[in-house]
Structures are given as structure tokens and as C-alpha cells.
Structure 1
Amino acid sequence: MKNPETFPHPIGLMLFNRFEYSQQVLMSLSAQTLPVDQSKLYISIDGYSGSKAELQGKPDSTHAIEELARATFPNATIRRAEKNIGIAEVYFALEVSMLESHPDANWIGFFEEDYVPSPDYLEITSQLASAAQPIDDIAVVAATGETLDPDNRDVQGIFPIGHLWAYLVRVAHVRERRDDLEVFRQQMSGRPYWDRDKIALALVMASRGVFPIGVANDYQRLSLMFRFNRIGVTTGLSYGEYIGVEGEHMTEKSFARFKFSAPTTVPFDIATVDFSASISTLRDQYRADFAKSLAEQYVIPKIRAFTAQKSFKSLPRRRRVASLLGQAFRALF
């Protein structure tokens, strides 16, 4: 039997030109144990014209997706763009709509078509947001199992978050990061998201003291949590399924390599979560895991390439140590 209450937070759902993905996420959201409040549901369907899908010769599915969304959630706010605006602009538009329509909201949610929540997902994230409410440092909660340190995946518990899928973000953090994300948004303007200038983006964000572990939209938000001394948390077990084989950042080969977690059958128990007692440990974990990710993304590959050079191998031992330290410093700064 479904809970007669509804999910208390506004949700922004991002759909693109992938009908099967959209169908799965819409069906899953319509069958939650804590039902969606359609007056707080905002669905954005990015346009086909000018999209990467159009460039690749794929058919336009956006009209069919809009029809399905309206049939599934007839009382939601649904907008389909005629032209492709990209995920950064979609995020911005949804954020503005939710904040303007619900000025008293403490949390807002962002969901995408390539993460299919389990039936109890909204119930779990609602419980996590309520438990995190007194802890200002917790800016994001989710139940995806996508932890920042892969060693914590498929483990019961709460850990620093690694990917921003199907998550709730604290509105206070949304407001404090706004200026930085506006710079990111302006840098993105004038060209498609999939054709963004990654070097220019990295440089302009670095000039503001933001050092993401990648230049994708989600990585900017993860790095801004680090900058503002906030943390995002997720369950170690996955209460949903990432299905994004086809997309901006994934191929069938890379999808198989990542070995994303399957949905767990272990029931979630909010009684096991005590953020007041664990916040200090979570902060330390987040800093350590973030530093590890930066090293794996930037430092280690450059060091390996550097040490493979013949000129390095021919140096005396002391010179090699000094050269390694210098290369590590340059890789970071």
C-alpha cells in the first residue's frame, strides 16, 4: 500500500532525446512508495534542433517524450525546448522555476533520464534530507550508491558522493554557489554543451578557486561543494539503477568497465543514520576522497608519462626525485 503522503520537495526532471530512458524514469517516478506531488514536479525536455543526436542522424523523439510525460504526469509543469540548449541551461531553467515557485523550499531535487530510481527512492531521500536538515554542511543527499571512493560502493552506510544522480540539494547551497555557476554558464554560452571548450572552462573556473575533477556539469557542482566546505552524501548501496550506456560521457565499452552497481535488495533503515555523530568523519572522508580523485585524474597520469621518458630515466637518483616533485607540483597547479 502506498503512503498517502507525497514527496515534500520540488523535483526537476531532465529528459533528452532518448525515449526508452525517459520511459523508464517516468514509470519509476510514477510508482514510488512516497508519491510525487505533481504541483512540485518540473519536467524539461531539451530540444532536438542543434543537438548531438541531430548531428548523428538520430530521429527526433522529443515530441513523443513530451506526450508520454504529459500522460504520466498531467498536472506537472512540462516544457519542451524547440532548440537544444544543453544540460547547463536546462539545470539553470529548472532551478529558477523551482525556486521561484517554491520560495520556502529547503531542498530541491534534480533527476535525469539515465538513472531509474527503485520504488522506495523518494522515500529514502526524503528521510535523508530530514536527517541532514540540522547539519548545514551537508549540501546534497542521494541514495545511488555512487560514492566518491569506489571502495565504498556496495557497502552499507553513508559516504561522500561521487556522482550527482537523482539527488536533493540544499537551497542555501544553491544560493551560495550561484555566482560561480553563472560564470560557468556564461562560459558555456554560444556553443553546444557537447562541443564545449574544456580547456577554457577549466581555466576560468580555476581562476575562481574551483578545481573540478572533470569539466562536466556535475563535476563543477561537486567541486563547488568542496570550495564552500560542504559535503554531499549518498548511500553505499544503490537504490536504483544507472542505465546511461548511451550519452555524453559514456560508451558501451566504458559503461561495462565502470561496473555500476545493481539495485540492492537490502531495505534502507533511517534509524542507522546519525549525521550529528558522523559529520566529522564524513568531512574527513570527503577531503581525502576528493584529493584522491584529483590525484588519479591529473597527477598520476602525468607522473607516469613523465617517468616513462628516456630523459628522466637517464637522470641521477637525486635529480629524478627533484624532477618528480616539480612535475607533481605543476600537475596540480
Structure 2
Amino acid sequence: MLDVPVVLFAFNRPDYLDRVCASLLRQRGAALDPRRVFLLQDGAVSPRSGLRYAEDSQVEASIAAFRRHFPRGHVAAAPHNLGIAANIRRGEVLAFEALGADLAYFFEDDLELGPDYLRMMGELRALSERDARIGYFAAYGDHHIAPTGPYVWLVRMQHNWGFGLKRDAWRRLCEFLVPYDRILDGADYAYRDHLAIFRWMETLPVSRPFSSQDTAKTLGCDALGIARVMTEVCFARYIGEKGSSFDEGVFREMGFEGAGWREGPEHHLAEGVEGAVSRIMAESLAMQTEHRQKRLARLLQEKGAVWMDRNRPATPEDVAFLFRMLLDRVPESEVGTGLVGRPLHEARTALLTSREFRGRNPVPLGD
């Protein structure tokens, strides 16, 4: 019986979740304890912006799908939309603080597992117990290589899909991610401040050209010396053809269409596989370090030409522009002086929430 919590993250794709739950129950060589399976269901409407990101019926169908497969499992449904980063964060807090687990398995609703997935995760878990550097591990494999096995080697873990995470590594990452989380708290995750995130990377020895929560955690692992490993053989398949990060075209372009998994009791980690951990760590660190040294400055220059710095002090010209666009007039000097010098986003919010603006615009901005 698997003795670690299994945490599922879901939002608005009940059909995908149904397949993932079914695949968890088809495992061979590793039995789930249904009382230790948890659904972290995100809500539909953001309390910050009022934007609706899903239909209530999708959320309800997602919970229903989970309960069909795991009637003794636990549902932690958010009352409103948190966004993927905050929903995952609360799942980690549940596993490592509320439940006090040393290790937990985390699955999103778009990775369908082959029947040997949890068995291979057990072998990876044993490896991680022998090598304290390993913080993340997964068995979904590299579908571009698609080796056949049965001897299974290790490669660098790419995406945070269907992974095991150790509490000690998580605690170290939490401290590292404080500045990143502070940036995320300023907006809905879908509209996070990308420019601020890349500027945060300027303070690090590593960087990547992405701003996602997966990216931030990967950078933390590289900076802190935490290994992220996975099997090269595929024991699962990615099914997220539709979602926040993928569409049908990207799904096909990245080679996920028609991808499959290997199965059979003959598959095992190869002897001596632990020797690959140091190489994987070194290669990952070198790649992110090179990006930081050679590419981040140019990336910031390019992004800075597109994105405004929402935290820079508002100039008199900024304030005058906001008044003309939002209130159809120029500011009186004393009003303008009150906003000049404040962070640009605060100046904008002050006008958007002002009585004058609301009086001119009785129709809500969002839908």
C-alpha cells in the first residue's frame, strides 16, 4: 500500500481528470490508499479581478469525476479562482505541513499514467532515499527519445508532471521563492508581471526565458543544488491538448499526439543509474547559468520594449495620459501631484476605482 499522499490538481477539464483518476486505479505493483488521495480543485472566479476563468458546471463536473473514482478520497475545493501557482502551493502545504509527509506525489489533470507508473516511482523513491540531492523525480519519460527499456536510465526532469517531491527540498524552495511569490500575489496568475519576474532573475545566478511557476522552481533547484530527475523511458503520456499552456497546434508540434507508454514488469532502473545524478545536475546548472550570463540582458531589453514596468514611479506625463484616457480630461494640478511618484499601477488603480470614473462607466469592465 502506497504510504505517501497523492495530490491531484484540477480546474476546468473534467474529462481529462476522469482519465487520470482511472489510470491511477489501474496501477500494477503499487496499490493506492484511497484515504490518502486528495483533489485540490480550483475555483471559477478570481476574487481579485472578478474575472471568470471557468464555468461552475466544469468545476462541479471535475469534483464529480474525482468522487466517482475515489469516493473515500478528500476534496479541497477553493471557493474562488486561485490560479495554478497558488493552487499547487496549497497542495504542497497540505501534504508537508497539514499531513506532515516527508514525501508526496503530485499530479495535474493532464498526465495519463501507464500501469507501471507508480511502481517505477517507487524505484525512483528508493533512489532518492539513497541520494539526498534528489528532490524531484518523475517517470513520464522523454517522448522525443522514446527508448524501449527494459533497463531504465535517468535524464533531467523537464516539466513538473506526475512528480514526487521531498519535504526537505520543498522547504528550501519555499524560502528561495519568496520574491517570486510576492510578484504573483500582485495579479491573477494568467496576468502575472512577467517583466518583474525576469528582473528577479537578474538577482540570481541562473535564469530561463519563461516566467511560469514551474520555471521558478526549476531555477531554485539549480541554484540550491537540488536534483530533478526522471526516467528516460515513458511510463505515462501527456494528454493536455487543450489548456492554459497548450492548444491543438502546440500539442502536435511538440510531438505529444500519438505518444504512448511502455509497460511490463521487466522494466526497472538500470544498475549504476545513480551515477547519472551528478551529470544531470551539472548539465542543468550549466544551461541555466549560460542563459543568465549571455541571454537574460537581451531578453530584458526586448521585453522592456513591450511591457511597462508597473512599479516604476508615475511621471506627470503618465498621470496626464491616464486622466485623458479614463476621465476624458486633463488633471487639475493638485490631483496630478497626488499621483505623480506613486507606482504606475497604483496611479491607474486610483483612477479606475475613483467615483468619477465609476460615475462615467456604469457598465462593468469585465464579463
The interval holding the TM-score normalised by the smaller chain is 0.7 to 0.9
- Cα distance in 2 for partners of 1:250, 1:189 equals 24
Match of 2:104 in 1: 108
CA offsets, 1:182-225, max 9 Å, x none?
33222111421111111112223433555234111111111111
Q: Could you tell me which residue of structure 1 aligns to residue 64 of structure 2?
A: 67
- Measured against aligned partners, the alpha-carbon deviations of 1:37-84 in whole angstroms (never above 9, x if no partner) come to 2232221111112399x7578673111211221232122221112211
Cα distance in structure 2, aligned partners of 1:57 and 1:276: 43
2:216 pairs with 1:216: no
Q: Equivalent residue for 2:25?
A: 30
The amino acid across from 1:13 in the alignment is L
Name which of 8, 12, 20 aligns with 2:7. 12
Shift in CA distance, 185/144, structure 1 to aligned 2, threshold 3 Å: same
**Deviation larger for 59-68 or 88-97:** 59-68
Q: Deviations over 1:244-288 (max 9, x none)?
A: 111111121111111137223354633514344333333333335
Matching residue within 227, 230, 233 for 1:234: 230
Is the Cα contact below 8 Å between 2:114 and 2:263 reproduced in 1? no
Q: 2:223 touches 2:285 (CA, 8 Å); kept in 1?
A: no
In 1: Cα distance, 2:199 partner to 2:84 partner: 20
Percent identity between matched residues is 22
Change (3 A) 1:155 1:138: farther
Select which of 128, 144, 162 maps to 2:158. Answer: 162
CA distance in 1, matches of 2:98, 2:80: 25
The match for 1:243 is 239
User: Which residue in 2 is equivalent to 1:310?
Assistant: none
- Counterpart of 2:89? 92
Q: Which residue of 2 aligns with 1:131?
A: 127
Mapping for residues 1-333 of structure 1, pairs under 5 Å: 6-33=1-28, 34-50=30-46, 55=52, 60-103=57-100, 105-146=101-142, 152=145, 154=147, 156=149, 157-209=153-205, 211-260=207-256, 262-265=259-262, 267=264, 269-288=267-286, 290=288, 294=291, 298=295
Residue ranges of structure 2 left out of the alignment (5+ in a row):
303-367
- Render the CA deviation track for 1:220-254: whole Å, top value 9, x for unaligned: 11111101112211111211110111111112111
* Separation in 2, partners of 1:231, 1:70: 35
| Distance change in 2, residues 1:189/1:281 (3 Å) | closer
Tell me the matched-pair count.
Answer: 292
Q: TM-score, normalized by length of structure 1?
A: 0.78
Contact 2:222/2:281 (<8 A) preserved: no
Counterparts in 2 of 1:167 and 1:56: CA distance versus 1, 3 Å:
closer
Give the root-mean-square deviation of aligned CA atoms: 3.0
Q: Is the CA contact 1:8–1:126 (under 8 Å) kept in the aligned structure 2? A: no
Structure 2 length-normalised TM:
0.71
CA deviation after TM superposition for structure 1 residue 119, in Å: 1.5
Distance 1:242 1:273, change over 3 A: farther
How big is the shift at 1:289? 5.0
